[in-house]
Amino acid sequence: MNVAEYLVKKLKNNGVNHAFGIPGGVIIDFLYALDKEDGIYPHLSYHEQCSAFEANGYSQAEHGLACAYATRGPGFTNLVTGIADAYADSLPVVFITAHAGNSSQNKQRFEQEQEMNTVDIVKNITKYAAVVENEYEAEKIINKAFQAALSGRKGPVLLDFCSSIWKKEIDISEHINECKFKKNTINYDSVYEMLKEAHKPVVLIGDGIRQAGVEIQLSKIINKTNIPVLSSRGSQDSGRLFDNYYGYIGSHGLRYSNYIFSEADLVIALGNRMAFPLNSESYKKALENKKIIRIEYDRREIQRSILNTYTIKNDLRSFVEEFNFKINCSSNWTDLCCLVKNKLMFCDCNSTVDFLCQIFKEYKDSDFVMDVGNNEFWASKAYELSGVKARTYYSKSFGALGCSLAKSIGIFYKNKKHIVCVTGDQGFQLNIQELQFISREKIPVLIFIINNKISGMIKDREKREGYAVHTTYNTGYSSPDFKLIAAAYDIGYVKASSFNDLKDIPDNKPFIIDFCADSQLTLEPSLPRGRKMYDMVPELDKYILDDIRH
Amino acid at 541: D
Same domain, 336 and 428: no
Determine, yes or no, domain membership for 141: yes
Q: Is the pLDDT of residue 322 over 80?
A: yes
Collapse the DSSP code of 66 into the 3-class scheme (helix H, G, I; strand E, B; otherwise coil) and give the result.
strand
Return d(Cα 81, Cα 52) in angstroms, integer.
8
Q: Is the pLDDT of residue 548 over 90?
A: no
Please state the rounded mean pLDDT for residues 450-479: 94
- Mean pLDDT value across the chain: 93
Domain total for the chain? 3
Q: At 151, is the pLDDT very low, low, confident or very high (cuts 50, 70, 90)?
A: very high
CB 230 within 8 Å of CB 260: yes
Same domain, 288 and 428: no
Q: At 486, is the pLDDT very low, low, confident or very high (cuts 50, 70, 90)?
A: very high
Q: Comparing 513 with 179, which gets the higher pLDDT? A: 513
Same domain, 403 and 507: yes
Dump pLDDT digits (tens) for 67-116: 999 999 999 999 999 999 999 999 999 999 999 976 555 566 666 777 88
pLDDT at 115: 83
CA quadruple 49, 54, 55, 60: dihedral, nearest 10: 120
Of 344, 375, 393, the residue at which a domain comes to its end is 344
Please state the rounded mean pLDDT for residues 155-165: 97
Q: How far is CA 49 from CA 22, 115, 433, in A?
A: 10, 18, 11
pLDDT at 143: 97
Determine, yes or no, domain membership for 441: yes
What 8-state DSSP symbol labels residue 401? T
Collapse the DSSP code of 478 into the 3-class scheme (helix H, G, I; strand E, B; otherwise coil) and give the result.
coil
pLDDT at 185: 60
Return d(Cα 379, Cα 13) in angstroms, integer.
36
Same domain, 378 and 339: no
Please state the rounded mean pLDDT for residues 154-161: 97
Beta strand 66-69 pairing with 128-132: unpaired
Q: For residue 184, give every residue at least 6 positions away whose Cβ sits within 8 Å of its Cβ, in sequence order, or none.
A: 314, 315, 318
Check which CATH number belongs to the domain holding 269 and give it: 3.40.50.1220
Specify which of 44-53, 178-187, 188-197, 535-544 reaches the highest per-range mean pLDDT. 44-53
Task: Give the domain range for residue 425.
Answer: 351-516
Dump pLDDT digits (tens) for 289-313: 899 999 998 888 888 889 999 999 8
pLDDT at 547: 78
**Cis ω before 23 (30° cut-off from 0):** no
Q: How far is CA 532 from CA 72, 322, 346, in A?
A: 50, 36, 21
Determine, yes or no, domain membership for 226: yes
Of 38, 90, 84, whose CA–CA distance to 59 is shortest? 90
The torsion region of residue 490 among left (phi > 0), alpha (psi -120 to 50) and beta comes to left
Please state the rounded mean pLDDT for residues 348-355: 95
Range with the poorest average pLDDT among 215-224, 322-331, 406-415, 473-482: 322-331
Same domain, 321 and 371: no
pLDDT at 409: 98
CB 48 within 8 Å of CB 22: yes
Q: At 172, is the pLDDT very low, low, confident or very high (cuts 50, 70, 90)?
A: confident
| Backbone φ and ψ of 19, nearest 5° | -125, 155
pLDDT at 5: 97
Of 292, 318, 344, the residue at which a domain comes to its end is 344
Check which CATH number belongs to the domain holding 53 and give it: 3.40.50.970
Determine, yes or no, domain membership for 542: no
pLDDT at 113: 77
Count other C-beta atoms under 10 Å from residue 237's C-beta.
19
Please state the rounded mean pLDDT for residues 515-543: 91
Q: Is the pLDDT of residue 249 over 80?
A: yes
pLDDT at 109: 66
Determine, yes or no, domain membership for 174: no
Please state the rounded mean pLDDT for residues 444-472: 95
HEC-encoded secondary structure of 73-123: CHHHHHHHHHHHHHHHCCCCEEEEEEECCCCCCCCCCCCCCCCCCHHHHHC
Helices marked H in 189-325 — which ranges? 189-197, 208-211, 215-223, 236-239, 255-263, 281-287, 299-302, 316-322
Of 86, 84, 81, whose CA–CA distance to 67 is shortest? 86
Return d(Cα 225, Cα 326) in angstroms, integer.
8
Q: At 187, is the pLDDT very low, low, confident or very high (cuts 50, 70, 90)?
A: confident
Same domain, 388 and 498: yes
